[in-house]
Structure 1
């Protein structure tokens, strides 16, 4: 099967491989990264990926020892106790700096695996194998790793680029439909901040565009990864342009915190993007039709676009702890128009409340 390779240079120099059938014959993608120095590999995976993890282990065994570490599903994986469990496995198996870790799973698992790889012996080889749309287009690319705390999402972490990313679209065919669609929030984000073709493909036929076997689906994944690769290659540690990738995320992360991480990331980011669009209308004169287009596309993906009025004070408190804040100044990615993102510093939260009122059902 043909494979598209997207080159990323931010924080390292690696390829994102996008195609089908790669996990059926993994050695060509993993072997060159491992090389002769890697004697041990740890595959970190959630329970739902147990069968794939076992098969991958069998295929990679031979000259190297391959171990498995099963971690909780979704955001429950991103806890310091889980990271400590992984460190324990690595220590008891005598993993050295020349060995490797594979993150096999969704965005939470790739975040965790990246954090563990970054911190074990101050950095070991890492290959990310994302198994959800969200992880493919966002979490596995760019080197942001981290875990959550009681105070907020991703407040503890590091920038640590993988040595390769393997996006096998075949694994998405058995993904529950609601999880598949939730991942498309990050795809839509890429459309609004940088690539209108994404929006056009979704609007032409949303069912075809979200069918993992279609050429349109692969095109959307490639476009989204391409945008992230370009941005992180220019700004790996988020000192400038990389902030645009946080469109919709400031409020979205606060909603995830309010919901005790029981919501899918894409659902929260969907609401966050509508909020950012309303804020953009108020402060950047974003055209009404672009704001309406946010709602129309997200709702076609069955993603939420409203949230409760009573939650505002809690959300505001959480947003003030957001890692993008500077002192007491809240910062938001907003749009002047499609493909024209900018940063808005907000000294007066009253304007945020006014924009939030447009989200309340």
Structure 2
């Protein structure tokens, strides 16, 4: 077992990473309330909720199971959790436990932030993407028809409890999607982590426990350091959006046919292309991302049935657009991300075309 800590003004909580089987006793030890709402989705709930309920003998335990999938990361699912809290008389002294992937983590956190203006919750992430990103840092929310994560709040969990063994139940596509978020950290400020990912790609794909322990702990540590310095995304935390402005637009125009980590991987390639196109980075930056993304069977070209104009329209609704100006995270090289303002839409269109099937050439 490995224990990290996220420290921000007025709040400290543990991030515990365990290689062994689902650690029910550790979850129990983190609950301070006698009334508990377990929140999961229809895919994860059959795997873990029954043994967790058994372990929580002596607590008053209730369950809320929401529909699985990004299309259900919406106010309807959020409202379902709130209705369950109301039906069972939950108050500020009670606690929610999110058991699932990034969508469950985000929605449960938002429900906890909303109910009575804030109650405790514990994150128990079961997907790689949730373990290295969604469960850490206190960003919670749901999607709106106009775009991804447009409704939400900052609300930190009481604890994040990660069990590597849960990854064994993931389909290969979902496991690989989590690597998209891991590669993001390398692009932000961890060039040596990029080298580690490249050198250990086979061990990671084979789910070697030691490799996964290092991968998850490294990503959680990187994120915790950034959140510690900028909890509410007023400065350096914006760098965590590397690849995400393009990625969120891809999710939106494709009606979430791409998993989040897949869209982020595509977004990283586009961010690298745009960085090169604007003269901030050398041409090999894009090639570096493409090689590693391909190694994890992630997409690096946008299908040509989505037009650059569609993506651009979706990007205009992104939270990071300020005063009508596109605000993107770009790079001056691997591990040297920065915030770029007022980027001309003509150049963004050129990048999208260069990263699309049938058009993958420099424009």
Scaled by the length of structure 2, what TM-score is found? 0.94
Aligned residue in 1 for 2:326: 330
Identify which of 31, 35, 43 aligns with 1:34.
Answer: 31
Q: Equivalents in 2 of 1:246, 1:172: separation in Å? A: 25
Runs of 5+ in structure 2 lacking a partner?
358-363
Structure 2 residue 20 is matched with structure 1 residue 21: yes
Matches within 5 A, 1:1-361: 3-10=1-8, 12-21=11-20, 23-24=22-23, 26-31=24-29, 33-35=30-32, 38-50=33-45, 51-62=47-58, 64-309=59-304, 310-361=306-357
Bigger mean CA deviation after superposition, 227-236 or 349-358:
349-358
Length, aligned pairs only? 354
Deviations 1:266-289 (A, max 9, x none): 111111000000111122431222
Q: Equivalents in 2 of 1:30, 1:280: separation in Å? A: 47
Deviations 1:78-123 (A, max 9, x none): 1111111111111110111000001111101100000001001111
Q: Which secondary structure state, in structure 2, belongs to the residue aligned with residue 13 of structure 1?
A: strand
Q: Equivalents in 2 of 1:348, 1:293: separation in Å? A: 25
Deviations 1:302-348 (A, max 9, x none): 10011145521111111111001101011100011122110111242
Q: In the TM superposition, what is the alpha-carbon distance from 1:22 to its structure 2 partner?
A: 6.1
Q: Equivalents in 1 of 2:262, 2:144: separation in Å? A: 21
Kindly indicate whether the alpha-carbon contact (under 8 Å) linking 1:40 and 1:99 is maintained by their aligned counterparts in 2: yes
Aligned residue in 1 for 2:360: none
Q: Equivalents in 2 of 1:284, 1:231: separation in Å? A: 27
Q: Equivalents in 2 of 1:55, 1:284: separation in Å? A: 55
Kindly indicate whether the alpha-carbon contact (under 8 Å) linking 1:252 and 1:272 is maintained by their aligned counterparts in 2: yes
Q: Equivalents in 2 of 1:155, 1:82: separation in Å? A: 15
Runs of 5+ in structure 1 lacking a partner?
none
Bigger mean CA deviation after superposition, 326-335 or 301-310:
301-310
Q: Equivalents in 2 of 1:4, 1:115: separation in Å? A: 27
Alpha-carbon spacing, 1:72–1:324, altered in 2? closer, same or farther (3 Å) = same
Q: Which secondary structure state, in structure 1, belongs to the residue aligned with residue 38 of structure 2?
A: strand
Q: Equivalents in 1 of 2:180, 2:99: separation in Å? A: 21
Q: Which secondary structure state, in structure 1, belongs to the residue aligned with residue 140 of structure 2?
A: strand
Q: Equivalents in 2 of 1:123, 1:285: separation in Å? A: 43
Q: Which secondary structure state, in structure 2, belongs to the residue aligned with residue 34 of structure 1?
A: coil
Deviations 1:246-293 (A, max 9, x none): 000001000100111122111111110000001111224312222210
Alpha-carbon spacing, 1:196–1:164, altered in 2? closer, same or farther (3 Å) = same
Scaled by the length of structure 1, what TM-score is found? 0.95
Kindly indicate whether the alpha-carbon contact (under 8 Å) linking 2:329 and 2:339 is maintained by their aligned counterparts in 1: yes
Q: Equivalents in 2 of 1:227, 1:319: separation in Å? A: 27
Kindly indicate whether the alpha-carbon contact (under 8 Å) linking 1:284 and 1:335 is maintained by their aligned counterparts in 2: no
Bigger mean CA deviation after superposition, 316-325 or 204-213:
204-213
Q: Equivalents in 2 of 1:234, 1:284: separation in Å? A: 29
Q: In the TM superposition, what is the alpha-carbon distance from 1:143 to its structure 2 partner?
A: 0.4
Q: Equivalents in 1 of 2:336, 2:50: separation in Å? A: 45
Deviations 1:40-86 (A, max 9, x none): 10111011212311211110121x21111111112133111111111
Pairwise CA RMSD? 1.4
